[in-house]
Amino acid sequence: FFLYPETWSTFIFLCFIPAIAILFFDSKLFYFSLLLNSLAIVFTFIYIMLFDHGYPYIKQDLIGNVINFIGSQVIISFIFYLTQGRIKKQQLYYEQIQQAERLKTTGQLAAAVAHEIRNPLTVVKGFLQLYQQDARFSEDIKGNFTLLVDELNTAEQVITQFLSIAKPSKETEIETVNIKIILQSVTDLLHSYGLLYDNMIELILVEDCYIAANNIEFKQLLINIIKNAIEASKIGDSVIVSAGRNKDFIEIKVVDFGQGMSEAEIKSLGTPFYSLKSKGTGLGMMICYNIAAKYKGTIDFESTKGEGTTVTIRFPSKNS
Ligand code: ADP
Ligand code: MG
Protein backbone atom coordinates (compact mmCIF):
# COMPACT_ATOMS: atom_id res chain seq x y z
CA PHE A 1 0.00 0.00 0.00
CA PHE A 2 2.81 2.35 0.83
CA LEU A 3 5.02 1.15 -2.04
CA TYR A 4 2.41 1.73 -4.70
CA PRO A 5 0.45 4.81 -3.70
CA GLU A 6 -1.13 5.14 -7.13
CA THR A 7 -2.62 1.63 -7.18
CA TRP A 8 -6.11 1.79 -5.74
CA SER A 9 -6.62 -1.99 -5.58
CA THR A 10 -4.07 -2.35 -2.74
CA PHE A 11 -6.60 -0.53 -0.59
CA ILE A 12 -8.90 -3.57 -0.96
CA PHE A 13 -6.25 -5.76 0.65
CA LEU A 14 -6.21 -3.48 3.66
CA CYS A 15 -9.99 -3.68 3.94
CA PHE A 16 -9.93 -7.47 4.05
CA ILE A 17 -7.26 -7.99 6.72
CA PRO A 18 -9.78 -9.05 9.42
CA ALA A 19 -11.01 -11.80 7.07
CA ILE A 20 -7.79 -13.69 7.82
CA ALA A 21 -8.82 -13.87 11.47
CA ILE A 22 -11.98 -15.75 10.47
CA LEU A 23 -9.78 -18.65 9.39
CA PHE A 24 -8.56 -19.04 12.96
CA PHE A 25 -12.13 -19.38 14.29
CA ASP A 26 -11.29 -17.15 17.16
CA SER A 27 -13.74 -14.38 17.97
CA LYS A 28 -11.32 -12.38 20.13
CA LEU A 29 -8.75 -12.32 17.37
CA PHE A 30 -11.41 -11.24 14.90
CA TYR A 31 -12.73 -8.33 16.96
CA PHE A 32 -9.21 -7.30 17.80
CA SER A 33 -8.15 -7.23 14.14
CA LEU A 34 -11.36 -5.45 13.14
CA LEU A 35 -10.74 -2.71 15.70
CA LEU A 36 -7.05 -2.44 14.94
CA ASN A 37 -7.71 -2.30 11.21
CA SER A 38 -10.31 0.46 11.61
CA LEU A 39 -7.97 2.51 13.79
CA ALA A 40 -5.09 1.98 11.37
CA ILE A 41 -7.22 3.10 8.42
CA VAL A 42 -8.38 6.20 10.26
CA PHE A 43 -4.79 7.15 11.03
CA THR A 44 -3.64 6.28 7.51
CA PHE A 45 -6.36 8.44 6.00
CA ILE A 46 -5.56 11.34 8.29
CA TYR A 47 -1.87 10.98 7.49
CA ILE A 48 -2.59 10.83 3.76
CA MET A 49 -4.87 13.87 3.85
CA LEU A 50 -2.50 15.99 5.91
CA PHE A 51 1.03 15.02 4.93
CA ASP A 52 1.29 12.64 2.03
CA HIS A 53 1.01 13.70 -1.56
CA GLY A 54 0.39 10.28 -3.13
CA TYR A 55 -2.88 8.36 -3.11
CA PRO A 56 -4.84 10.53 -5.52
CA TYR A 57 -7.83 8.17 -5.47
CA ILE A 58 -8.24 8.57 -1.72
CA LYS A 59 -7.90 12.34 -1.81
CA GLN A 60 -10.40 12.63 -4.65
CA ASP A 61 -13.16 10.86 -2.83
CA LEU A 62 -12.42 10.49 0.88
CA ILE A 63 -16.06 9.99 1.93
CA GLY A 64 -16.59 7.32 -0.72
CA ASN A 65 -13.49 5.46 0.40
CA VAL A 66 -14.51 5.64 4.05
CA ILE A 67 -17.96 4.28 3.18
CA ASN A 68 -16.33 1.53 1.13
CA PHE A 69 -14.12 0.63 4.04
CA ILE A 70 -17.03 0.52 6.49
CA GLY A 71 -19.02 -1.54 4.00
CA SER A 72 -16.24 -4.07 3.65
CA GLN A 73 -15.91 -4.39 7.42
CA VAL A 74 -19.65 -4.97 7.75
CA ILE A 75 -19.55 -7.70 5.10
CA ILE A 76 -16.63 -9.38 6.81
CA SER A 77 -18.41 -9.19 10.18
CA PHE A 78 -21.45 -10.79 8.63
CA ILE A 79 -19.40 -13.63 7.18
CA PHE A 80 -17.72 -14.07 10.52
CA TYR A 81 -21.08 -14.16 12.30
CA LEU A 82 -22.42 -16.87 9.98
CA THR A 83 -19.36 -19.12 10.08
CA GLN A 84 -19.08 -18.68 13.83
CA GLY A 85 -22.68 -19.88 14.31
CA ARG A 86 -22.04 -22.89 12.14
CA ILE A 87 -18.86 -23.82 13.88
CA LYS A 88 -20.32 -23.38 17.36
CA LYS A 89 -23.09 -25.80 16.39
CA GLN A 90 -20.64 -28.28 15.02
CA GLN A 91 -18.48 -28.05 18.10
CA LEU A 92 -21.50 -28.65 20.32
CA TYR A 93 -22.51 -31.63 18.24
CA TYR A 94 -19.02 -33.05 18.46
CA GLU A 95 -18.97 -32.61 22.23
CA GLN A 96 -22.33 -34.31 22.52
CA ILE A 97 -21.08 -37.30 20.57
CA GLN A 98 -18.06 -37.54 22.81
CA GLN A 99 -20.22 -37.23 25.90
CA ALA A 100 -22.58 -39.95 24.65
CA GLU A 101 -19.62 -42.18 23.92
CA ARG A 102 -18.28 -41.63 27.42
CA LEU A 103 -21.68 -42.31 28.97
CA LYS A 104 -21.96 -45.49 26.98
CA THR A 105 -18.68 -46.86 28.26
CA THR A 106 -19.39 -45.86 31.86
CA GLY A 107 -22.84 -47.38 31.53
CA GLN A 108 -21.37 -50.65 30.32
CA LEU A 109 -18.83 -50.55 33.11
CA ALA A 110 -21.53 -49.94 35.71
CA ALA A 111 -23.58 -52.78 34.31
CA ALA A 112 -20.60 -55.12 34.51
CA VAL A 113 -19.92 -54.07 38.11
CA ALA A 114 -23.57 -54.45 39.07
CA HIS A 115 -23.61 -57.90 37.58
CA GLU A 116 -20.50 -58.90 39.50
CA ILE A 117 -21.94 -57.59 42.76
CA ARG A 118 -25.10 -59.61 42.38
CA ASN A 119 -23.36 -62.98 42.65
CA PRO A 120 -21.74 -62.45 46.07
CA LEU A 121 -25.00 -60.95 47.30
CA THR A 122 -26.84 -64.11 46.37
CA VAL A 123 -24.31 -66.22 48.24
CA VAL A 124 -24.53 -64.06 51.37
CA LYS A 125 -28.29 -64.10 51.23
CA GLY A 126 -28.34 -67.86 50.85
CA PHE A 127 -26.21 -68.35 53.93
CA LEU A 128 -28.29 -65.92 55.97
CA GLN A 129 -31.42 -67.79 55.01
CA LEU A 130 -29.73 -71.01 56.08
CA TYR A 131 -28.77 -69.50 59.44
CA GLN A 132 -32.34 -68.39 59.91
CA GLN A 133 -33.29 -72.07 60.16
CA ASP A 134 -30.35 -72.84 62.42
CA ALA A 135 -31.31 -73.63 66.03
CA ARG A 136 -27.90 -72.52 67.34
CA PHE A 137 -28.79 -68.85 66.89
CA SER A 138 -31.06 -67.15 69.39
CA GLU A 139 -34.30 -65.52 68.29
CA ASP A 140 -33.11 -61.90 68.50
CA ILE A 141 -30.08 -62.67 66.38
CA LYS A 142 -32.44 -64.26 63.86
CA GLY A 143 -34.42 -61.02 63.90
CA ASN A 144 -31.29 -59.29 62.68
CA PHE A 145 -30.94 -61.89 59.95
CA THR A 146 -34.40 -61.01 58.67
CA LEU A 147 -33.33 -57.38 58.55
CA LEU A 148 -30.15 -58.29 56.70
CA VAL A 149 -32.01 -60.44 54.17
CA ASP A 150 -34.46 -57.59 53.64
CA GLU A 151 -31.67 -55.16 52.91
CA LEU A 152 -29.98 -57.63 50.59
CA ASN A 153 -33.29 -58.03 48.78
CA THR A 154 -33.50 -54.29 48.28
CA ALA A 155 -29.94 -54.22 46.94
CA GLU A 156 -30.73 -57.10 44.62
CA GLN A 157 -33.82 -55.36 43.38
CA VAL A 158 -31.89 -52.17 42.62
CA ILE A 159 -29.29 -54.16 40.72
CA THR A 160 -31.87 -56.15 38.76
CA GLN A 161 -33.77 -53.03 37.77
CA PHE A 162 -30.57 -51.19 36.95
CA LEU A 163 -29.39 -54.04 34.78
CA SER A 164 -32.64 -54.11 32.89
CA ILE A 165 -31.91 -50.52 31.85
CA ALA A 166 -28.17 -50.62 31.39
CA LYS A 167 -27.75 -54.03 29.84
CA PRO A 168 -26.39 -53.67 26.34
CA SER A 169 -29.84 -54.15 24.92
CA LYS A 170 -30.55 -57.54 23.48
CA GLU A 171 -32.61 -57.22 20.35
CA THR A 172 -36.14 -57.54 21.62
CA GLU A 173 -38.70 -58.81 19.22
CA ILE A 174 -41.49 -56.51 18.13
CA GLU A 175 -44.76 -58.35 18.41
CA THR A 176 -48.41 -57.52 18.19
CA VAL A 177 -49.49 -56.89 21.74
CA ASN A 178 -53.10 -57.58 22.59
CA ILE A 179 -53.84 -54.93 25.21
CA LYS A 180 -56.84 -56.80 26.56
CA ILE A 181 -54.90 -59.98 27.30
CA ILE A 182 -51.91 -58.14 28.72
CA LEU A 183 -54.01 -55.94 30.99
CA GLN A 184 -55.93 -58.97 32.19
CA SER A 185 -52.78 -60.84 33.11
CA VAL A 186 -51.13 -57.81 34.72
CA THR A 187 -54.14 -56.96 36.84
CA ASP A 188 -54.48 -60.60 37.87
CA LEU A 189 -50.84 -60.58 38.86
CA LEU A 190 -51.15 -57.38 40.86
CA HIS A 191 -54.51 -58.27 42.36
CA SER A 192 -52.96 -60.05 45.34
CA TYR A 193 -50.47 -57.22 45.75
CA GLY A 194 -53.37 -54.76 45.98
CA LEU A 195 -55.18 -56.92 48.50
CA LEU A 196 -52.28 -56.33 50.89
CA TYR A 197 -53.78 -52.93 51.67
CA ASP A 198 -57.31 -53.68 50.58
CA ASN A 199 -56.87 -51.97 47.20
CA MET A 200 -58.94 -53.29 44.33
CA ILE A 201 -57.98 -52.96 40.69
CA GLU A 202 -60.92 -52.22 38.43
CA LEU A 203 -60.40 -53.00 34.80
CA ILE A 204 -62.50 -51.34 32.12
CA LEU A 205 -62.03 -52.66 28.60
CA VAL A 206 -64.22 -51.59 25.73
CA GLU A 207 -62.76 -53.13 22.62
CA ASP A 208 -59.88 -55.18 21.34
CA CYS A 209 -56.78 -53.00 21.00
CA TYR A 210 -53.44 -53.86 19.53
CA ILE A 211 -50.07 -52.14 19.53
CA ALA A 212 -46.65 -53.01 18.16
CA ALA A 213 -44.29 -53.66 21.05
CA ASN A 214 -42.67 -56.44 23.02
CA ASN A 215 -45.06 -58.34 25.28
CA ILE A 216 -42.66 -58.72 28.18
CA GLU A 217 -41.49 -55.10 28.09
CA PHE A 218 -45.00 -53.77 27.82
CA LYS A 219 -46.03 -55.91 30.76
CA GLN A 220 -43.11 -54.51 32.72
CA LEU A 221 -44.23 -50.97 31.92
CA LEU A 222 -47.79 -51.62 33.07
CA ILE A 223 -46.70 -53.43 36.21
CA ASN A 224 -44.46 -50.54 37.21
CA ILE A 225 -47.15 -47.93 36.70
CA ILE A 226 -50.02 -49.87 38.27
CA LYS A 227 -47.79 -50.84 41.19
CA ASN A 228 -46.98 -47.17 41.76
CA ALA A 229 -50.70 -46.40 41.70
CA ILE A 230 -51.41 -49.08 44.30
CA GLU A 231 -48.53 -47.90 46.45
CA ALA A 232 -49.81 -44.33 46.33
CA SER A 233 -53.37 -45.32 47.20
CA LYS A 234 -54.86 -45.07 50.65
CA ILE A 235 -56.15 -48.21 52.33
CA GLY A 236 -59.38 -49.38 50.72
CA ASP A 237 -59.19 -47.22 47.60
CA SER A 238 -59.45 -48.66 44.12
CA VAL A 239 -57.17 -48.22 41.15
CA ILE A 240 -59.01 -47.90 37.86
CA VAL A 241 -57.34 -49.15 34.72
CA SER A 242 -59.07 -48.48 31.41
CA ALA A 243 -58.03 -48.91 27.81
CA GLY A 244 -59.52 -47.67 24.62
CA ARG A 245 -58.85 -46.29 21.18
CA ASN A 246 -58.43 -42.57 20.54
CA LYS A 247 -57.99 -41.87 16.84
CA ASP A 248 -54.73 -43.56 15.84
CA PHE A 249 -53.65 -44.17 19.39
CA ILE A 250 -54.39 -46.69 22.07
CA GLU A 251 -54.81 -44.98 25.40
CA ILE A 252 -54.46 -46.75 28.69
CA LYS A 253 -55.40 -44.76 31.76
CA VAL A 254 -54.36 -45.71 35.26
CA VAL A 255 -56.26 -43.65 37.81
CA ASP A 256 -55.62 -43.67 41.54
CA PHE A 257 -57.04 -41.57 44.34
CA GLY A 258 -53.92 -41.61 46.45
CA GLN A 259 -51.36 -39.10 47.61
CA GLY A 260 -50.80 -37.39 44.24
CA MET A 261 -47.77 -35.40 43.17
CA SER A 262 -46.82 -31.77 42.86
CA GLU A 263 -45.71 -30.21 39.57
CA ALA A 264 -42.05 -30.51 40.61
CA GLU A 265 -42.43 -34.14 41.60
CA ILE A 266 -43.92 -34.98 38.20
CA LYS A 267 -40.93 -33.31 36.53
CA SER A 268 -38.55 -35.49 38.54
CA LEU A 269 -40.18 -38.72 37.41
CA GLY A 270 -37.85 -40.85 35.36
CA THR A 271 -34.74 -39.42 37.02
CA PRO A 272 -32.70 -42.40 38.14
CA PHE A 273 -33.07 -43.16 41.86
CA TYR A 274 -35.74 -40.51 42.36
CA SER A 275 -38.07 -42.08 44.91
CA LEU A 276 -40.11 -40.77 47.82
CA LYS A 277 -40.64 -44.26 49.20
CA SER A 278 -38.54 -45.64 52.03
CA LYS A 279 -38.08 -48.89 50.12
CA GLY A 280 -38.34 -47.51 46.60
CA THR A 281 -35.62 -47.98 44.03
CA GLY A 282 -36.59 -44.96 41.95
CA LEU A 283 -35.88 -46.87 38.77
CA GLY A 284 -39.41 -47.94 37.85
CA MET A 285 -40.42 -44.82 35.98
CA MET A 286 -37.09 -44.61 34.21
CA ILE A 287 -37.64 -48.11 32.85
CA CYS A 288 -41.17 -47.14 31.81
CA TYR A 289 -40.01 -44.06 29.92
CA ASN A 290 -37.28 -46.08 28.18
CA ILE A 291 -39.75 -48.73 27.05
CA ALA A 292 -42.27 -46.12 25.91
CA ALA A 293 -39.65 -44.24 23.90
CA LYS A 294 -38.55 -47.48 22.25
CA TYR A 295 -42.02 -48.14 20.80
CA LYS A 296 -42.92 -44.49 20.14
CA GLY A 297 -45.31 -44.29 23.05
CA THR A 298 -45.76 -41.55 25.63
CA ILE A 299 -46.55 -41.46 29.32
CA ASP A 300 -48.28 -38.41 30.75
CA PHE A 301 -49.04 -37.61 34.35
CA GLU A 302 -51.87 -35.50 35.67
CA SER A 303 -51.90 -35.19 39.39
CA THR A 304 -53.20 -33.15 42.26
CA LYS A 305 -51.50 -33.41 45.60
CA GLY A 306 -53.74 -35.28 48.02
CA GLU A 307 -56.36 -36.15 45.44
CA GLY A 308 -54.81 -38.64 43.11
CA THR A 309 -53.06 -39.24 39.86
CA THR A 310 -54.07 -40.11 36.32
CA VAL A 311 -51.41 -41.71 34.18
CA THR A 312 -52.11 -41.76 30.45
CA ILE A 313 -50.11 -44.24 28.43
CA ARG A 314 -50.41 -43.67 24.71
CA PHE A 315 -49.12 -45.96 21.97
CA PRO A 316 -49.68 -45.91 18.22
CA SER A 317 -52.47 -48.32 17.37
CA LYS A 318 -51.85 -51.38 15.23
CA ASN A 319 -54.52 -53.10 13.19
CA SER A 320 -55.01 -56.62 14.66
P1 ADP B 1 -40.25 -46.32 43.14
O2 ADP B 1 -41.63 -46.83 42.88
O3 ADP B 1 -39.26 -47.40 43.33
O4 ADP B 1 -40.18 -45.28 44.22
P5 ADP B 1 -40.64 -45.11 40.59
O6 ADP B 1 -39.70 -44.61 39.53
O7 ADP B 1 -41.61 -46.17 40.18
O8 ADP B 1 -39.77 -45.58 41.81
O9 ADP B 1 -41.46 -43.87 41.13
C10 ADP B 1 -40.77 -42.71 41.55
C11 ADP B 1 -41.59 -41.88 42.49
O12 ADP B 1 -42.68 -41.27 41.79
C13 ADP B 1 -42.27 -42.65 43.61
O14 ADP B 1 -41.41 -42.78 44.71
C15 ADP B 1 -43.46 -41.79 43.95
O16 ADP B 1 -43.10 -40.81 44.89
C17 ADP B 1 -43.79 -41.09 42.64
N18 ADP B 1 -44.97 -41.68 42.01
C19 ADP B 1 -45.00 -42.50 40.94
N20 ADP B 1 -46.27 -42.83 40.60
C21 ADP B 1 -47.06 -42.20 41.48
C22 ADP B 1 -48.51 -42.13 41.67
N23 ADP B 1 -49.35 -42.81 40.89
N24 ADP B 1 -48.97 -41.34 42.69
C25 ADP B 1 -48.11 -40.66 43.47
N26 ADP B 1 -46.77 -40.70 43.36
C27 ADP B 1 -46.24 -41.45 42.38
MG1 MG C 1 -42.33 -47.93 41.31
Mean pLDDT of 54-67: 89
Mean pLDDT of 152-174: 77
pLDDT at 175 over 80: yes
- Residue 233 has a pLDDT of 94
Q: Residue 220: CB within 6 Å of ligand 1?
A: no
pLDDT at 168 over 60: no
The distance between the two most distant Cα atoms of the chain, rounded to a whole number of Å, is 115
pLDDT at 303 over 60: yes
Mean pLDDT of 140-157: 87
Angle formed at CA 29 by CA 35 and CA 2, multiple of 5 degrees = 55
**Mean pLDDT, the chain, whole residue set:** 89
Distance, CA 284 to ligand 2 centroid (Å)? Answer: 5
Closest residue to atom 18 of ligand 1, CA basis = 228
Q: Residue 259: CB within 6 Å of ligand 1?
A: yes
Q: Residue 187: CB within 6 Å of ligand 1?
A: no
pLDDT at 73 over 70: yes
Q: Could you tell me what percent of the chain has a pLDDT over 70?
A: 98
**pLDDT, tens digit (0-9, with 9 covering 90-100), for 100-125:** 888 778 778 888 888 889 889 999 99
Q: Residue 5: CB within 6 Å of ligand 1?
A: no
Distance, CA 106 to ligand 1 centroid (Å)? Answer: 26
- Residue 170 has a pLDDT of 63
Q: Which of 253, 275, 309 to mutate to test the pocket of ligand 1 (most atoms within 8 A of CB)?
A: 275
Closest residue to atom 23 of ligand 1, CA basis = 229
**pLDDT, tens digit (0-9, with 9 covering 90-100), for 183-206:** 998 898 888 888 888 899 999 988
Domains of the chain, residue spans: 1-126, 175-316
Distance, CA 146 to ligand 2 centroid (Å)? Answer: 23
Mean pLDDT of 284-304: 93
Which numeric CATH code is attached to 175-316? 3.30.565.10
pTM assigned to the model: 0.62
**pLDDT, tens digit (0-9, with 9 covering 90-100), for 213-272:** 988 889 889 999 999 999 999 999 999 999 999 889 999 999 999 999 999 999 999 888
Distance, CA 67 to ligand 2 centroid (Å)? Answer: 69
Q: Residue 194: CB within 6 Å of ligand 1?
A: no
Q: Could you tell me what percent of the chain has a pLDDT over 90?
A: 49
- Residue 238 has a pLDDT of 93
